[in-house]
Structure 1
C-alpha cells in the first residue's frame, strides 16, 4: 500500500508521466512486494523557480531532469528490498526514458496500518484480514 509523491520538472508529456508511473509500479511490484493494482501516486510537475536541489550532493551530477520519489509504505521492507527497488527503478528509468541514475532520488518512509484509511473513515487496522 505505498503512496508515492513524484516531484519533477514541468514539460513531461502525459505519455512520459504514464511511463514513469508504470515503471515505478512495476518496480514496486517486483522488488517491494506490492500487490498488482495497489497504485497510489501523485505527480508534482514544478517550474524551475520552485525546484531547489544540490546538483552534486552524493551524486555524479544532477540535471534539470532530477526526479524525487517519496514513498510512504505501510509495512517495513528489508534492506535488500529497498536496495533492489532503488536499483531497478533507476535502471528502468534509464533504459526506457534515458533518465540518468544520477537524476533519481528515492526517499522511503514506513508507518503502520493504524495510519491508513483508504475510504469510509475506516482504518486499515480495523479491516478483517
Structure 2
C-alpha cells in the first residue's frame, strides 16, 4: 500500500476513534475506508488520486464523447452503438447528458444540473 493511502487510512482511523461513541459517524468513516480499499483492489487507485487533484474543478467533470444538435439525433446515434464506455457523456443542444440503458435496451439521456444551476438551487434554499 502506498504512503498516501496509509496516511489517509490512518487519518480516518484517528477520526473514527474520536467519534467512537457516535455509531453513525463511526459507520460513515468505516465505509469511507472500505471504499478506499475497494478502489485500490480494483486497480483504480491512481485514477482516484488524479480525480482528487481535480475534484470540484471543471476538469473533473466528464467530457462529452460526441455532440449533437438534438435529442433525436443523439438517440439515433446511440441506437447504433452496441456498448459505450463507462460513464459516457454526450452533449445535446449545448447541455451535457449522462447516458444509460434501460432494462429493455433503450438508451436514456439524463441531463444533470450545471454548476450555475446547482449554485442557484443552493442560494434559493438559504
TM-score category (smaller protein): under 0.3
Structure with bigger RCO (C-alpha 8 Å, 6+ apart): 1
Structure with higher Rg: it is 2
| Structure (1 or 2) with the greater strand fraction | 1
TM-score, with structure 1 as normaliser: 0.20
| Structure (1 or 2) with the greater helix fraction | 2
TM-score, with structure 2 as normaliser: 0.20
